[in-house]
Amino acid sequence: MAIIFRIQLMYPESTILSGQTYNEFITMHGTIMLFLAATPLLFAFMNYMIPLQIGARDVAFPFLNALGFWFFFFGGLLLSLSWFFGGGPDAGWTAYVPLSSRDYAGIGLDFYVLGLQISGLGTLISGINFIVTMITMRAPGMTMLRMPLFCWTSFVTSMLIVFAFTPLAAGLALLMLDRMFGGQFFIPSEGGNVVIWPHIFWIFGHPEVYILVLPAFGMISEIIPVFSKKRLFGYTAMVFATIIIGFLGFMVWVHHMFTLNLGPITNSIFALATMIIGIPTGIKIFNWLFTMWGGKLWFTTAMLCASSFVPTFVLGGVTGVMLAMAPVTHLYHDTYFVVAHFHYIILGGIVLGLLGATFYWYPKMFGHCLNETLGKIMFWIFYVGFHLTFFVQHILGLIGMPRRVNVYLADQGWDGMNLISSIGSYMQGVAIIILLINVVYSAIKAPDKPVNDPWDGRTLEWATHTPVPEYNFAQTPQVRSLDPLFYEKVHGDGTMKPAEPIGDVHMPNGSFYPFLIALGSFIVGFGLIMLHMDAWINPYIVVGIGAVLMFGSMAMHSWKEDHGYYITKENIEAMEQEALADERNR
Amino acid sequence: MADNLSEPFEKSAMTQEDQRKNREEQRIQYIAFAFMIVLTLLAFIAVGADLLPAAFAVSFIIVLAVIQMFLQLYYFMHLREKDHGWANTFMVTGLFLVIPTIVALMLLIGVVKY
């Protein structure tokens, strides 16, 4: 979709997309990228890595984990279905109210409201699950301040989810009442107030940005020490900087609304609060630099992504501070400068973090490394393409090109830079295709020689076998330090000491209920949307079926006792022997 | 052996220390309960007696409500005991985040622009 915009904007007065389609595309681009692409990718890593990194057998609530996933899946499905029922939502990913009210926005926005409501529920459930996992299931000796930084950032992220997705759910519920049941929360002619929506949205929306970027920070903080052969510089400072960023993330939402005329004192307070965030972020940047300083650097693809993340993120941060200055924002507002700023954060921050983490953790997850040559080609094409796309957008914004437009006139000095920007976006597309080719290529080429610990890892996830057994650790490891595996490599014999004798491991049974519960919520959502369709069936019947399915499955799950099963000690010993023999044969 | 399972024990399995703590706990619960009933009565009187001006009565019962909430959480729901550190942390964090947000929101959506 992003590439289609850039095709559209490559030449002035282009007519490939109509204004309406363009609006639907930008809305879906923003919504999908933030809620349905970045979030699940980060959550996948969190779900896989957190139990391994803290030495746990699984997350605290496996049932909730599945439930969260299926809610998320069906929410995304509901949102995407909008294309087949009268067009996607078209009010921007922020869905500001006069635009998103029944008078202006079509049925697509109903899909937006209910799809996000359901997928948000899934995210919330996963967030709670992660918090409980990290509080209750750490291995012996793994104190809070010995947790790997990826766990810490995920922890703060999960807290942000708990505190930020609840206002979003409330806001979406209000919008749903307005659109479907004749509420008047956001209709000024009937005593409502449209300004409340942007407030609620950004009380959620700004923490959401940190929800996405903090795990990326964590990934970078895992990759850089491993490939610098040094422990992370200023670990404690990193942890507290993360917490402070999380806290301040809630105190700055008005900086998205400086041009809403909220008054000078308000704007000054929020401008200052925004600039203060630069301090903990700066601490992090310097800590990454000092980690690399004097280290024995090893530039694999993962390290290339992680180290180039630092300057790119600084660029995004600097424009962020520029945007934080309330008076000047009146000039930047709604120009491409803003677009350039947040793409530097999202692509230069989150996507580079994700790419790095993919290359770093791929051998752990799939048993073989990704091809490094293809990886480096991908990285350079992506990196150059990314800067080509978005750097010129700063200048485009400063010379006045507004965002969210589908056409512009020729000879305003915008033509050349738009062309460059479009070419850059194709390069990014090519890079992602190379990554996909790499996945297939490596899968065909490499599985004969699985690797256990290819990067000389420092944290616990590299201490188990590859592929990871379903019980993660046969014996819970005893943690003696930060970077526990590295500590054992230096001071011990290179393996983790067990904290318990081998015994039976309790495992949860698989369950079909999470799927049914989420399917029920999906049917309820679809039934509510059908209220405004010419449906051949009474929508309330559909809502009823969905509700029965959802609450029925919940009740079934509550009443049917399921104690899980045990993997016996003998089985575990056999599996361990097999894994060890496997490793010796490599 | 299984025959006498339903018979009462002659002596409690708890130590003297445990029993003393239990009695203490019980006493505290009673006092907290009585205190909360008094607070509720005060709130009813404040509104029902028509003696106080409305503005004062409203702020007065809100203060009472806050005290009630803390009593409930810390005494009845055992939040003050040890091993409740994380629950405490999260609740305090939630208040810490939500109160400034709501206060700011109330100020910001008013007619007066600050």
Q: Please return the burial class of B73, using the count of CB atoms within 10 Å of its CB with bins 0-12, 13-18 and 19+.
A: middle
Binned at pLDDT 50, 70 and 90, residue B1 comes out as: very low
How many angstroms separate the CA of residue B94 from the nearest CA in chain A?
A: 7
Q: DSSP character for A296?
A: -
Binary contact (A196, B93; C-beta < 8 A): no
Provide the pLDDT for residue B9.
Answer: 73
Say if A471 falls within a structural domain: yes
Residues forming a β-bridge with A497: A478
CA distance B114 to chain A (A): 5
Taking an 8 Å cut-off on Cβ atoms, the answer to whether A250 and B90 are in contact is no
A166 touches chain B (CB under 8 A): no
Distance (Å, rounded) from C-alpha A37 to C-alpha A202? 20
> What integer pLDDT is reported at residue A154 of this predicted model?
94
Where in chain B are the domains?
A: 16-81, 83-114
Q: Locate A350 and state its tokens.
A: 């989150």
Is A193 in CB contact (< 8 Å) with chain B? yes
A292 domain-assigned: yes
| B residues 67-106 lying closer than 8 A (beta carbon) to A | 86, 90, 93-94, 96-98, 100-101, 104-105
Tell me, what's the ipTM?
0.75
Q: For A523, which DSSP code? A: H
Tell me the CA distances in angstroms from A126 to A41, A73, A120, A284, one per residue in order. Answer: 13, 13, 10, 26
Q: Report the candidate in A253, A215, A248, A216 with the shortest Cα–Cα distance to residue A126.
A: A215
Name the domain count of chain A.
1
* A189 occurs within a structural domain: yes
Q: Which residues of A touch B99 (CB under 8 A)?
A: none
What residues in chain A have per-residue pLDDT under 50?
none
- State whether residue A77 is helix, strand or coil: helix
Q: Tell me which residues of chain A, numbers 336 to 375, contact chain B at a CB-CB cutoff of 8 Å.
A: none
C-alpha count within 13 angstroms, C-beta hemisphere, residue A241? 23
- For the stretch A104-120, pLDDT in tens is 877 888 888 999 999 99
**For B97, which of A163, A254, A266 is closest by C-beta distance?**
A163
Inside any domain, residue A546: no
Select the residue of A163, A262, A265 nearest B94 (Cβ to Cβ): A163
Give domain status of residue A550, yes or no. no
Mean model confidence pLDDT for chain A = 87
Residue A411 lies in a domain: yes
User: Is A287 a member of any domain?
Assistant: yes
Inter-chain CB proximity B93 and A193 less than 8 Å: no
- The pLDDT tens digits for A434-483 are 998 998 998 888 766 667 788 888 888 888 887 788 888 888 888 888 88
Which of A12, A116, A110, A127 has the alpha carbon at shortest distance from A67?
Answer: A127
pLDDT (0 to 100) of residue A4 = 59
**How far from A250 is each of A83, A214, B72, B86, CA to CA, in Å?**
34, 14, 28, 21
Q: Which residues pair with A402 in a beta bridge?
A: A335
- The range of the structural domain enclosing residue A235 comes to 2-310+321-511+562-584
With an 8 Å Cβ cutoff, is B20 touching chain A?
no
A545, part of any domain: no
Q: Cα dist. B17→B10, B20, B75, B81 in Å? A: 18, 5, 21, 17
The CATH number for A496's domain is 1.20.210.10
H runs (alpha helix) in chain B:
16-48, 54-71, 85-108
Residues 6+ apart with CB under 8 A from A460: A52, A53, A54, A55, A139, A148, A477, A479, A484, A485, A496
Q: Tens digit of pLDDT for each residue in B68-88? A: 888 888 877 777 777 778 888
Cross-strand partners of A507: A565
